[in-house]
Structure 1
Amino acid sequence: MATHTKTTLSFNYNRGTLDDKILLQLYRAMLKPRMIEEKMLILLRQGKISKWFSGIGQEAISVGVTSAMRDEEYILPMHRNLGVFTTREIPLYRLFTQWQGKMSGFTKGRDRSFHFGTQEYNIVGMISHLGPQLGVADGIALAHKLREEKAVTAVFTGEGGTSEGDFHEALNVASVWQLPVLFCIENNGYGLSTPTSEQYNCEHLADRAKGYGMESHIIDGNNILEVYTQISKITEGIRNNPRPVLIEFKTFRMRGHEEASGTKYVPQELMNMWAKKDPLSNYEAYLEQEGILSATVKERYAVEIKNEINEHLEKSYKEEQITPDLNTEMEDVYAPFRFRESVPSNTTEELRLIDAISQGLRQSMEKYDDLVIMGQDVAEYGGVFKITEGFVAQFGKERVRNTPICESAIVETAMGLAINGKKALMEMQFSDFATSGFNPIVNYLAKSHYRWSQPADVVVRMPCGAGVAAGPFHSQTNEAWFTHTPGLKVVFPAFPADAKGLLATAIEDPNPVLFFEHKKLYRSIRQEVPTDYYTLPLGKAALVREGSQLTIITYGAGVHWALDLLNKRTEISVDLIDLRTLQPLDKERIIASVCKTGKALLLTEDSGFGSIMSDISALIMESCFEKLDAPVKRVTSLDTPIPFDANLEQQYLPLERLESALQELIDY
């Protein structure tokens, strides 16, 4: 059993009105993660687990916060918050199998340590990038607030994580929207080996709350009674008066960032000082001195916990290692989605692309009461392209929300809304700005279902494209950044009717969808569009024209470039394929057409190197090689940034090179 030396108390414990039962519960709740950690360190040395991030010395924070929360309230912990998981009474064998990479864990062997979430216990685990979970907490809290539920969301970070931009964005959003989030900073002295003096240049991290108009508190993170009583009071206040609160817990990390890194970079006198402030041994001594914890009870707790650990370890050892199954791996990248075709009526009206998107979005808002739109200037102003104009009058500002200029936090907030049962649609004002939200898109949204079976029911609208003299930062077609990332779906319509039906499906789909909208086409393309709600399947390309000489494969503005050329060159017989969705990709239609015609021209507005057309070219070579009568030809924009000047922009785009490339392929 674990032993803890009796020590002179380093804290003044104030029990207030807490009865003996609660005092003992807090002690046992701290003892359990400590004993688990001591066992894990042994197993680590024995090679039975691969890595360990120790929270020894910080148990009072995890246990105190979790004990002050209600079971139905979400907590977003970090590496060193084992006490969150044990206080929520997750069966230990599930934690052990998680750490061993077995199927009874929470990630089916796909992620390690505490990188997981569980809706069953209302815990949402971290990712290694640290910052995104702060904005996710905003989204979870926003969902509670929209439903008028008196609930707090607690999210943890370390003092090192407060240096990330996501921390500042999340605090700003929470303050502007007065979200019931408890931001918990565990200031434990070091970010890996970097001391706090090299992380920030203010006396207290809690002081940062002033800049965001937030309430803040500094709490001794090693004093379990101070943590529990203070957080209990604060969380009850948040439930009754929703608002964000920043807590800085002063504590220390007694072991390495992870065990391999050690602690040689920490001065020994500092280690000695904090060893005297051990939260468990001090609290144990206090309870013994007060006559609350007897030797018999202490022994019983230790034996019970030791037996539980050994019993669950044995159960986890007996579970077989995962046998890889290719179908399971591939199927779990996306959440299951059964497309439900909503057939439109015969009533149509002529709409521009921009009007069709707006109408489709409005009808989805009417269909789904839990759908929330977020973005810069999307409320009264209607967005920079006026797609959400009039939405506030119909749906209210709670569901049509202007956001601060913080793309990363809003992507994360959208993810939090999805975790807490909402649908979220974010307007990325320009697709170029997705770089500011890139991390949560490709590392959180994309990987969420694969990692722990949590769908990311989020659509990100991406106005994009050149031809409007907007220069390098407002003109990119950057879809290839996202088609490269498993777990994302990418839609890029060329026609108003397609855009409306595909947007409806994207919103119905519980998976994250990047919905690209070409700005040049917004007001230049018109079409008869069904007036009522309807859906179109993702992953199905459209055969715009049918012919025999060759196949043109394209999407977005490229479809109209090709049509304009074919209308001029009426003697050419072409299969013109509009991909419509780039992920999933309609490989069957591509292969069938190229095998029929024997020639393929791939047209994209994107730069050539690394575009999706490079992958489609490889697909054709692998699948149609023996049917080809000519090399696959790609027609792309230049491998340069997009210039501003109209003549330079025209040179950049592939339009002027299209006809000669087409003729070369015909003549081959």
Structure 2
Amino acid sequence: MITYKNTNLSKDTLTQLYKSMLKPRLIEEKMLILLRQGKISKWFSGIGQEAIAVGVTKAMKNEEYILPMHRNLGVFTTRQVPLKRLFCQWQGKASGFTNGRDRSFHFGTQEYNIVGMISHLGPQLGVADGIALAKKLKNQQQVTAVFSGEGGTSEGDFHEALNVASVWQLPVMFCIENNGYGLSTPTNEQYNCDHLADRGKGYGMESHIIDGNNILEVYETISEITNSIRTNPRPVLIEFKTFRMRGHEEASGTKYVPNELLETWGKKDPVENFKHYLLDNNILTEAQNDAFKADIKNEIDVALEEAYSEPAIEPNLEKELVDVYASFEYKNIAPNNETEELRLIDAISQGLRQSMEKHDDLVIMGQDIAEYGGVFKITEGFVEQFGKDRVRNTPICESSIIEVGMGLSIAGIKSIVEMQFSDFVTSGFNPIVNYLAKVHYRWNQQADVVVRMPCGAGVAAGPFHSQTNEAWFTKTPGLKVAYPAFPYDAKGLLATAINDPNPVMFFEHKALYRSIRQEVPTDYYTIPFGEAALLKEGEDVTIISYGAGVHWALETLESNTKISADLIDLRTLQPLDTEAIFNSVKKTGKAIILQEDSLFGGIASDISALIMEHCFQYLDAPVKRVASLETPIPFINQLEDQYLPKNKFQQALIDLLEY
């Protein structure tokens, strides 16, 4: 049984709390029936945990964001999300929130300020940090609440998100629903501390333990905490003690749970206990309770009938492809006539600075980018001009900072995340390919984030600071990839990347930073994505490359002046200018693709396949690919020179011409 302390809450508030818990309970009971009938595909039950979702949501303002999980149906119903839309979502109908592209609670809705989870669990914690940061920057005095189960607290994203929130003093509540089991794994195999709330101490963070089955304790304590956070922005860690009365999802069952544990927690049912409390204190009558149930069941039945009557989704190929990316109307801003000679690194720095001036809330984040100016000094002097709110040093937590960028985008703020070296993106790979890349396709939310990627070999930096890993991202639908080879292109493409509401991986070759110079317009300008540059024109062969490979190809042609070649600098890899490639190959009849990445699985393989599929009848020789060795990148220059394709490109080109 649950003991409720005296409260000053009105009878109406107490009754509304009860009705708000009763509604998700009755919906769940109906869903379990439909699951057995095969009318929904899967269900993650929150029976026994309703007090947490309802209490937290009731304590928050409707304009404040909540990031719930599987078992937080009460968040959606308390925010008055129409049941028809929820039922359509679970049935994969068009009136749901994901157009049949994702299931159950894997969705968000800006209309109700709810941001749903992804199956990887942890990334939503950092996203909450980003939303909270946006609210703090805008001085809106709002709280962001994010949920996790006790199992999710074992993920690195949990620790990164708490650390960032504490360092930046973000107004976010981390709500842990400690419900006993992560699927079948009990808590004693998940963590080795008495209370998860104790972890707050390690992050310099206030923490609380709350009886998650006691709706009054949840609502009153969270109301007090949220009011405090609004006036004194800071993160708070909250552990709700509760229990999962059903399986992780219904198919898994509960055979692994001792019966006595189920019986003990069954007596602490939040809905039944609170109902009896209200009855005993003459706040609720049996007749009123029956009426509440009848009204809710009727609402459920009507909404279900409406959902059933909606036709099944009919596949639309064009719509599926178009919805991968947020729409972006490119605006060409022509360069001015005044130029100055800039190195690649200077053009990028100037482009960043001018975009920071153009977008007055644009935030740039990365390790050592503030006072130090970044390891390459690209952001040197930015703090003095734009302040530390917008030029933010980050802890070493790539995953969380990418997630912060996603959260900023949800709250309407553009951001740039600098990977100190592109190799380090592996620590943030999950949120890039599973959150940023998929979020627009899933629920029409743009991910307005540019990830800057200092990359490439030629500087004797070894296996962990020299990779050019663009192929990891050209493979991922939803991402755009830019890879300029010249200062002029770098500045214009960077401006476009920042304007674009889609996630952009922006590769910057370190060996070119200070070795390549060019006359660059001094003012702000843009260059469209998906348009390659034809650097040289010829009749005998088409050379296709990007990044440092473009300069290797130029050197080869300069030392072999009799070779008549089209040289195409791709500039962007996603979107790819296939028209420029095909037109050139149809003219020359031969094609060679040069990439710095190792050969197998690189973008040269896809370009080769595209040429073979679309230009086969024009070819006078097989398409040739030239790339680095199938090894990690070595450190010492003798081995690095052997690794890179620069020195073997000339012979490969001559062999192709002689075919």
Q: Normalised by the shorter chain, which TM-score bucket?
A: over 0.9
Measured in 2, the distance between the counterparts of 1:525 and 1:285 equals 77
Matches within 5 A, 1:416-427: 416-427=407-418
Of the three residues 450, 458, 464, the one matched with 2:455 is 464
- Whether 1:245 aligns to 2:255 is no
1:314 aligns with 305
1:27 aligns with 18
Of the three residues 465, 468, 472, the one matched with 1:474 is 465
1:229 aligns with 220
Measured in 2, the distance between the counterparts of 1:446 and 1:14 equals 48
CA-to-aligned-CA distance 1:53-97 (integer Å, 9 cap, x gap): 000000000000000000000000000000000000000000000
Measured in 1, the distance between the counterparts of 2:483 and 2:507 equals 5
Measured in 1, the distance between the counterparts of 2:457 and 2:109 equals 43
**Paired AA for residue 365 in structure 2:** M
1:382 aligns with 373
Measured in 1, the distance between the counterparts of 2:287 and 2:276 equals 14
Measured in 1, the distance between the counterparts of 2:284 and 2:44 equals 30
- Whether 1:66 aligns to 2:57 is yes
Matches within 5 A, 1:102-121: 102-121=93-112
Describe the SS at the equivalent of 2:468. Answer: coil
1:4 aligns with none
1:585 aligns with 576
Of the three residues 420, 432, 450, the one matched with 1:429 is 420
1:197 aligns with 188
Of the three residues 100, 113, 118, the one matched with 1:122 is 113
1:328 aligns with 319
Of the three residues 279, 294, 297, the one matched with 1:303 is 294
**Paired AA for residue 119 in structure 1:** Q
Greater Cα shift, 585-594 or 134-143:
585-594
Q: TM-score, normalised by structure 1?
A: 0.98
**Paired AA for residue 275 in structure 1:** G
CA-to-aligned-CA distance 1:394-444 (integer Å, 9 cap, x gap): 000000000000000000000000000100100000000000000000000
- Whether 1:286 aligns to 2:277 is yes
Measured in 1, the distance between the counterparts of 2:573 and 2:489 equals 14
Q: TM-score, normalised by structure 2?
A: 1.00
Of the three residues 624, 630, 654, the one matched with 2:615 is 624
2:590 aligns with 599
2:245 aligns with 254
**Paired AA for residue 243 in structure 1:** R
Describe the SS at the equivalent of 2:146. Answer: strand
**Paired AA for residue 265 in structure 2:** W
| Contact persistence 1:353–1:521 (CA under 8 A) | yes
Displacement of 1:222: 0.1
Measured in 1, the distance between the counterparts of 2:116 and 2:578 equals 36
Describe the SS at the equivalent of 1:388. Answer: coil
CA-to-aligned-CA distance 1:178-231 (integer Å, 9 cap, x gap): 000000000000000000000000000000000000000000000000000000
| Contact persistence 1:408–1:437 (CA under 8 A) | yes
CA-to-aligned-CA distance 1:226-252 (integer Å, 9 cap, x gap): 000000000000000000000000000
Measured in 1, the distance between the counterparts of 2:539 and 2:19 equals 76
Measured in 1, the distance between the counterparts of 2:335 and 2:617 equals 41
2:481 aligns with 490
- Whether 1:666 aligns to 2:657 is yes
Measured in 1, the distance between the counterparts of 2:124 and 2:75 equals 16
Measured in 1, the distance between the counterparts of 2:391 and 2:87 equals 43
CA-to-aligned-CA distance 1:451-483 (integer Å, 9 cap, x gap): 000000000000000000000000000000000
| Contact persistence 1:605–1:653 (CA under 8 A) | yes
Q: Report the number of matched residues.
A: 659
| Contact persistence 1:170–1:409 (CA under 8 A) | yes
Measured in 1, the distance between the counterparts of 2:514 and 2:314 equals 54
| Contact persistence 1:15–1:225 (CA under 8 A) | no
Displacement of 1:17: 1.3
- Whether 1:560 aligns to 2:559 is no
2:262 aligns with 271
Structure 1 gaps of 5+ residues are 1-9
**Paired AA for residue 351 in structure 1:** L
Displacement of 1:15: 4.3
Displacement of 1:393: 0.3
- Whether 1:506 aligns to 2:520 is no
Runs of 4 or more consecutive aligned structure 1 residues displaced over 4 Å after TM superposition: none
Matches within 5 A, 1:93-104: 93-104=84-95
Of the three residues 311, 336, 344, the one matched with 1:345 is 336
CA-to-aligned-CA distance 1:361-409 (integer Å, 9 cap, x gap): 0000000012000000000000000000000000000000000000000
CA-to-aligned-CA distance 1:97-139 (integer Å, 9 cap, x gap): 0000011000000000000000000000000000000000000
Measured in 2, the distance between the counterparts of 1:295 and 1:260 equals 35
2:540 aligns with 549
**Paired AA for residue 255 in structure 2:** K
2:641 aligns with 650
- Percent identity of equivalent pairs: 76
1:7 aligns with none
Describe the SS at the equivalent of 1:70. Answer: coil
**Paired AA for residue 478 in structure 2:** G
Give the superposed CA RMSD: 0.4
Displacement of 1:14: 2.2
Measured in 2, the distance between the counterparts of 1:140 and 1:273 equals 39
Measured in 2, the distance between the counterparts of 1:16 and 1:37 equals 29
- Whether 1:452 aligns to 2:443 is yes
- Whether 1:367 aligns to 2:361 is no
| Contact persistence 1:351–1:528 (CA under 8 A) | yes
Structure 2 gaps of 5+ residues are none
Measured in 2, the distance between the counterparts of 1:487 and 1:602 equals 25
| Contact persistence 1:57–1:252 (CA under 8 A) | yes
- Whether 1:398 aligns to 2:377 is no
Matches within 5 A, 1:106-185: 106-185=97-176
